[in-house]
Amino acid sequence: MATYHFPDDENFEQEWNMQVRGRIVGGHEPVTVTTDNGTISSITDEAVDDAIGGDNVWVAPGICDVQVNGVGGISYKAEDLTLEQVIETTEWMYKTGTAKWCPTVTTSSAEDAIQGLGLLAQACRESGHADASFCGFHVEGPYISSEDGPRGAHPLEHTRDPDWDEFQRYQEAADGKIVIFTLAPEREGALAFIEKVAATGVVVSIGHSGATPAQIQDAVSAGATMSTHLGNGAHAMIPRHPNYIWEQLAADTLWAGVIPDSHHLPPAVLKCFYRAKQRDHLCIVSDIASIAGLPPGIYGNTVGGGGVELAENGRLSLAGTPYLAGAALFLDTGIANMVTYTDASLEDAVRMATSNPAKLLGLEDKAGSVAEGKEATLSLFRWQEGDEKLQTVATVVAGELVHTA
């Protein structure tokens, strides 16, 4: 593999033109996509000898992941996180075909969250790659359930009730780039908070919650429009019928984020979730932790106070236990799993990782499709039919070739 580095990243500009060859996902015949200053200028049938890709390559809008906690040994919430590390995460993501994502800051003290959001915002100011690929920040917590189960691996001591003034400090530190905010609607003051945050254009997502069905309904009425990793961050035992999972599945206005790594949701559950929401209201997310991208082994991570073990199959667990400690598989695997375990076609699965996130974040006018006039952010891959395996060929971000295999 080769990753392309640009010596003057802070002055990154879409100055070059390129041509990409392949079949657009959902189409049948190979086409040539020409880019001009970061935008798709034309799509034609004419073959070009030096085009990136080839007739046996699929071309998709850039894969977009709205929940990324870290990668390559780097956590976006680490107390010792540096600007250089934030920028380095782009290289790790590009290798798997992910072109856009939401760096996610999870439950912590206000001071630590503000520091992390400030570094992410600084990265966007100083790195062209970060600015082009970070499609906004996802804040997951701290206004989540304090109960074991729904709280997941989030630290109990930092879970708390919603605070509008604190949120405004978060958004100020983030240069206004917070685009998704996950909270539990049963916390005191949550409904008024949801209304205020939703009114600013931020996607309010229900997650790490033990809410009653009525509280879910109230959250939706207040402006919540998404479910964060539905089916996870939940009690091990819940009532079989009136519960917060069924209620969110039934809410037509709620987008569902799901983790299709085959570890967080059993294949049968993933299939049922897909059938309930269908492709138009579902976004697949990786929810990867900092261990993602590293070789299998045991790492001295502080999740749960001990080490974590990354297995050969991508399962990340607390070392020596059956308990998950986050996710470690990227959306190249997630797309393949959606085809393998659900009724989704390749086109459906790609849509849930590209155009759906763009629509969720209000970016569909410029991104999320391969069409003339749209941003030239593309993921190129080969697809092994029958084996349901996606192999990344190249990643293009705003007209720049940032990775090629």
pLDDT at 3: 40
**278 alpha-carbon distance from chain centroid:** 18
Terminal-to-terminal C-alpha distance of the chain: 5
Give yes or no: residues 49 and 157 share one domain. no
pLDDT at 305: 54
Give yes or no: residues 80 and 96 share one domain. yes
Query: Domain range for residue 257?
Result: 63-360
pLDDT at 14: 46
Give yes or no: residues 172 and 288 share one domain. yes
- CA 110, 234, 243: angle at the middle one, nearest 5? 125
Average pLDDT for residues 225-233, to the nearest whole number? 97
pLDDT at 112: 95
Give yes or no: residues 121 and 224 share one domain. yes
pLDDT at 211: 98
| pLDDT above 70: residue 302 | no
**What are 126's two structure tokens?**
């100083």
Q: For residues 231 and 257, what is the distance between their CA atoms, to the nearest angstrom? A: 9
**Better-predicted residue by pLDDT, 388 or 211:** 211
Give yes or no: residues 283 and 324 share one domain. yes
Domain CATH for 29: 2.30.40.10
Give yes or no: residues 389 and 296 share one domain. no
Q: How many CB atoms lie within 10 A of CB 33?
A: 26
Task: Mean pLDDT check: name the lowest of 57-66, 127-136, 200-209, 382-391.
Answer: 382-391
Q: For residues 169 and 180, what is the distance between their CA atoms, to the nearest angstrom? A: 15
- CA 139, 127, 356: angle at the middle one, nearest 5? 45
241-290: pLDDT as tens digits: 999 999 999 999 999 999 999 999 999 999 999 999 999 999 999 999 99
pLDDT at 135: 97
Mean pLDDT computed over every residue of the chain:
94
Give yes or no: residues 129 and 209 share one domain. yes
| Residues ≥6 apart with Cβ < 8 Å to 359 | 368
Give yes or no: residues 254 and 378 share one domain. no
Average pLDDT for residues 97-122, to the nearest whole number? 97
pLDDT at 281: 96
**What are 91's two structure tokens?**
């290289």
Task: Compute the half-sphere exposure of residue 329: CA atoms within 13 Å on the CB side of its CA.
Answer: 24
Q: For residues 193 and 50, what is the distance between their CA atoms, to the nearest angstrom? A: 54
Q: Which run of H or E residues covers position 220?
A: helix 213-222
Q: For residues 369 and 359, what is the distance between their CA atoms, to the nearest angstrom? A: 10
Give yes or no: residues 68 and 55 share one domain. no
Cβ atoms of 309 and 324 closer than 8 Å: no
Give yes or no: residues 80 and 158 share one domain. yes
pLDDT at 319: 87
Can you tell me whether residue 292 is helix, strand or coil? coil
| pLDDT above 70: residue 303 | no
pLDDT at 1: 34
Share above pLDDT 70 across residues of the chain, in percent, rounded to a whole number? 95
Give yes or no: residues 372 and 335 share one domain. no
Cα distances from 185 to residues 170, 226, 368, 392, in angstroms, run 19, 12, 30, 39
309-352: pLDDT as tens digits: 999 999 999 888 888 888 999 999 999 999 999 999 999 999 99
10-49: pLDDT as tens digits: 444 444 689 999 999 999 999 999 999 999 999 999 999 8
Average pLDDT for residues 370-381, to the nearest whole number? 98
Q: What total of structural domains would you count in the chain? A: 2
Domain CATH for 356: 3.20.20.140
Cα distances from 75 to residues 15, 139, 154, 333, in angstroms, run 32, 14, 14, 21
Give yes or no: residues 34 and 178 share one domain. no
Q: How many CB atoms lie within 10 A of CB 263?
A: 18
Average pLDDT for residues 365-377, to the nearest whole number? 96
